[in-house]
Amino acid sequence: MNKKVDWLLVLSIILLSVFGLIMIYSASYIWSEYKFNSPYKFVRNQAIFFIIGLIIMFFISKVSYTYYYKYSKQILMLCIILLILVLIPGIGTVRNGSRSWFGIGSFGIQPSEFTKLGLIIFTSKYVTTHKKLLPAMLMTLFVFAIIMLQPDFGTGTIIVMTIFGILFINGMKMSLIIKLGLVGISGVVGLILVAPYRLSRILSFLNPWSDPLGSGFQIIQSLYAIGPGGLFGLGLGNSIQKHFYLPEPQTDFIFSIISEEFGFVGILIVACLFIILIYSGIRIALQTTDKFAKNMAFGITFGVAFQALLNLMVVVGLIPVTGVTLPFLSYGGSSLLITMTSMGILLNISRYTR
């Protein structure tokens, strides 16, 4: 057992989170002042979650990962129960068109965020103890179906991509991936037929200027933020788009404000921090000799990588808007807490590497 802390991973986590706090304040203080009569509403909430998340991360880093092996089924079952409960009116609350939150005062808890980690733990154990991968795939699609009832396509997509990543490194054949991809495309077509607003999102992605004041508004304003950034940006606090142009820029589109205020240099810094974090996660996964720990480390790293990639692709207009936050940087307590918890597990696994 290696008792040393992986300080490279810890440093990248703290730098991303602190920079996230700075940018949440910069992106939100105008909207926060207008809506809540205080410029510190969003950054104060996020700071509370960051402190709690930091405590949880270091506490979890001391808990042996073998604990999750023992209780993987119970953890996933609890996550599924919460996913079902949030769909019940009066228990779950609707935000931005999705019934995916438990409201606790001014805070909100999103159970689908916890399901990401729960399903990674369950799948990591299952592929460690079983040779057949099909049941793990079916469980993933079952969870995806529940999440789509909210609906939350972005989180569901990240979960599917993450689990398929774990299954792929455990021998899932490419032919099966292609078949499942075709099934997924058929499912997307079905979802569009059920809810035509999704078609408008796709059309606005292909040509945002076809509906500049409607479905294409966010992407257009995001591009207007990124464009003027140049090499060094307009400077911290000098964003124009956060002045009621880009809706709630502290959440999904915070990277647009980073690009506007810090330019290419800011983009490069954020990219380097994510690369260091992902490199650290993959290194930990490759160095551990325990198959369950290896699968969990890969799954946690894949989850952060896919979520960051999906968010950045949305912000620059490469894919339709999905409502996915940027890990560590976007405003969102549930996302930050579960990401910090995942990092705690990764740090614990690193203590058992060669």
Cα(174)–Cα(293) distance, integer angstroms:
24
pLDDT 10s digits, 249-280: 888 899 999 999 999 999 999 999 999 999 99
Mean per-residue pLDDT, 167-191: 75
pLDDT score for 286:
93
Kindly state the DSSP code that residue 331 receives in the 8-state scheme. Answer: S
Q: Is the pLDDT of residue 342 over 70?
A: yes
- Confidence band for 195, pLDDT divided at 50, 70 and 90: low
What is the end-to-end Cα distance of the chain in Å, rounded?
7
Q: Give residue 338's pLDDT.
A: 92
In the chain, the amino acid numbered 177 is I
- pLDDT of amino acid 199: 64
Q: Assign 227 a pLDDT band (cuts: 50, 70, 90).
A: confident
Of 136, 151, 81, 66, nearest in space to 114 by CA: 81
Q: How confident is the model at residue 339 (pLDDT cuts 50, 70, 90)?
A: very high
| Nearest-angstrom CA–CA distance, 279 and 6 | 12
* The pLDDT of residue 74 is above 60: yes
For residues 84 and 146, the answer to whether their CB atoms sit within 8 Å is: yes
Backbone Cα Rg of the chain: 20
Supply the pLDDT for residue 329: 94
Q: Under a CB-based contact definition with an 8 Å cutoff, are residues 289 and 196 in contact?
A: no
Helix-helix angle 254-287:291-315, to 10 degrees: 160
Computed over every residue of the chain, the mean pLDDT equals: 86
Mean pLDDT of 32-47: 90
- What is the three-class DSSP state of 83? helix
Instruction: Give all strands of the β-sheet with 107-109 in edge-to-edge order.
Output: 93-95, 98-104, 107-109
